[in-house]
Chains A and B, each alone.
Chain A
């Protein structure tokens, strides 16, 4: 895609809210295997954006391309308005999936070192490192070597090092993995705090609950493609609400109003349970048919799909489609 053409698309997408990230048609191949296959992403500034996908879907490769660690084979990206992410490394924070710090470094020094890689003077980094550790209840460990810390503590130190230079854009790759429930909660609060201060936060995860709780928008990656990208509510709406119905009668003229693929279960009491997607015509015609046909409604509820259901459906469809399109590569 031509850069000018792409810029026009980016502007059109951005609307009133400036974009932290715009990516069009990103492709990355490794040894004949297409890890990322034409991904488009638009991440509004100041949002919390989740990149969801099963293991091996291409999340990490996508993030690495956005960070400039690797270059795409095709497509264009613009990060905070720059086509070369390294040029604005001082405005980006990155926590990779595989955490790593120098084992002999002291905690506060490790934070300062990570800051210095992003242009923060060492002295200032050390001062902020101590402050951050203190603020997050790790002040007592400031002078300990990384090798003397537990895995979770070392992870927190690296997390603080990712933020020490006050980045505008923070990218976390699987930030919740390896953290206990308490620290996961702390991290969620920290991410919300960052977004409240205008920082754009992108994180990848395969634990949908975190994304559902926190994200404004998500992109679902499956088989190297993005079958869905947009607000969480829109993702949920991709799956029709589920109707849970219990009737006294098992059959009748009203059966015509129930989709043929509905799941049916007989209860010991003689009642019949039905579960099916809400028909596009809505609930009123269904209710009318049930009442007029004397189905004997014992209970009826309509449940909106969760992000997890949406994810499973969208990612599953995408994987199946990819398998149909290119069975050799998927194998």
Chain B
């Protein structure tokens, strides 16, 4: 057997064996497909909800104003309305020509109640003295536009509109830039949060499945448990990188196809290439911190139910961290922001937001060093707990008298 290792694999080599197995198994599994299309669901739901909402709003917000004036005046009013509506971008409601006769205000009120369609008010009287009848909020809102249209109708040529030549200036105000970059920061944080939660959940279920398959004892007998921990952690990171590459390619494709129809995000302060690069690194940091926590939890749990019980507080904590980082973003330079940047779990979110609004690069180097140190500490602690706990829970050692979840959390050991 020339060339065969007869000692043992190093931790790194063993971690690679585990990572390679996990990576290929996950990549060709259904869960990866769900991982890929997972983020589409909130987007689709958002788009559908938006579209339905728009439609409902459109129906609701297309009220008409009935015109009840002497016919020659009504004609002038309609002509003036047509001429102005196209220039006022929806600010003028539609006009509907009603029966051309003079009516008292009471008749207009009755007409509003019995007429089908979307009649919301009636303009009657004369052009010199128009009367707008309708619910108070409506007529308050339309008083100005109706005065404009009646004034236009009194002109010699109601259809004539003076074209205004636009002279835009190239400068955007500081407020515009800041607002756009904050939107970009929020989008970045949201994406980071979604990805991290999705992956940490996957790494946890992967471990529980492994314990269910009773493979963990085979692994424990052959390679260091630190290697199992690291292999699983980094396999999922590699899977996520594939996912990000697929999403990135799909995003570029959609952007090219949809062009300006796509929602626009302002360029972050450090520029898109650096922002995307930092986003990937911050994602890796956020995932490694959270994934370590979830793997450690998974090592202590024997069943899916126990995993859910244990991971719920962490998920809640992660939500809190996300909201905290989002809140801190709105208070640059404050103690809140310093805390958000310093606390390891919120630091990647806070720093990604900072990258969107602040062009300085050096704080990111410092933050990455800080986060990297914490990743090292967490992985070390997590791997130690994993090594001690993983063979003490689950079916491999689960005989009569197995202590409960809280006994294990309290560090009480159990018989194998």
Contacts and interface: CB of A to CB of B under 8 A. Distances in A.
A89 B6 CA distance: 7
Given A30-B415, A61-B416, A67 B214 contact: no
B241 interface: no
Contact of A117 (B14, B415, B416): B14
B84 to A, nearest CB: 68
B219 A56 contact: no
B217 A35 contact: no
A67 B221 contact: yes
A35 B395 CA distance: 18
A169 B200 CA distance: 39
Interface in B160-178: none
A88 B415 contact: no
Nearest to B396: A98
B414 to A, nearest CB: 5
Interface string A28-66: 111101010000000000000000000010001100100
Nearest to A113: B21
Interface string B146-160: 000000000000000
A117 B412 contact: no
Interface in B379-416: 391, 395-396, 399, 401, 403, 407, 412-416
A206 interface: no
Contacts of A86: 8, 223-224
Contacts of B129: none
Interface string A83-106: 000111111101010111111110
Contacts of A116: 17
B5 interface: yes
B4 A90 contact: yes
A90 B391 contact: no
A56 B413 CA distance: 16
A102 B222 contact: no
A117 B218 contact: yes
A69 B220 contact: yes
Given A67-B221, A117-B219, A56 B391 contact: no
A320 interface: no
Given A102-B213, A117-B223, A87 B416 contact: no
Contact of A102 (B4, B25, B217): B25
A314 interface: no
A100 B213 contact: yes
Contacts of B14: 117
Given A89-B222, A96-B221, A117-B222, A70 B416 contact: yes
Given A31-B414, A101-B215, A70 B221 contact: no
B1 interface: yes
A69 B391 contact: yes
A64 B221 CA distance: 8
A164 to B, nearest CB: 11
A121 B224 CA distance: 18
Interface residues on B, range: 35 or more
B276 interface: no
A120 interface: yes
A131 to B, nearest CB: 14
Given A98-B395, A100-B215, A117-B219, A31 B412 contact: yes
Contact of B7 (A31, A90, A121, A165): A90
B221 A104 contact: no
Contact of A120 (B4, B7, B391): B4
A102 B215 contact: yes
A102 B396 contact: no
A214 B136 CA distance: 101
Nearest to A30: B415
Nearest to B216: A100
B1 to A, nearest CB: 6
A61 B219 CA distance: 16
B131 interface: no
A121 to B, nearest CB: 8
Contacts of B415: 30-31, 33, 35, 61
Please indicate which of the listed interface residues B220, B222, B414 has the most CB atoms of chain A within 10 Å of its own CB: B222
Interface string B20-63: 01000100010000000000000000000000000000000000
Contact of B416 (A64, A88, A91, A100): A64
Contacts of A29: 413
Contacts of A231: none
A31 B407 CA distance: 10
Given A89-B8, A98-B217, 15 more contacts: A30-B415, A64-B416, A86-B223, A88-B8, A90-B4, A100-B214, A100-B215, A100-B216, A100-B217, A100-B218, A102-B213, A105-B25, A117-B218, A117-B222, A121-B4
Interface of B: 1, 3-9, 14, 17, 21, 25, 29, 213-224, 391, 395-396, 399, 401, 403, 407, 412-416
Interface of A: 28-31, 33, 35, 56, 60-61, 64, 67-70, 86-92, 94, 96, 98-105, 113-114, 116-121, 124, 165-166
10 contacts: A30-B415, A64-B416, A87-B7, A89-B7, A90-B5, A101-B213, A114-B222, A120-B4, A120-B5, A121-B4
What 4 A-B pairs are tightest by C-beta distance, nearest first?
Answer: A119-B5, A100-B214, A30-B415, A117-B222
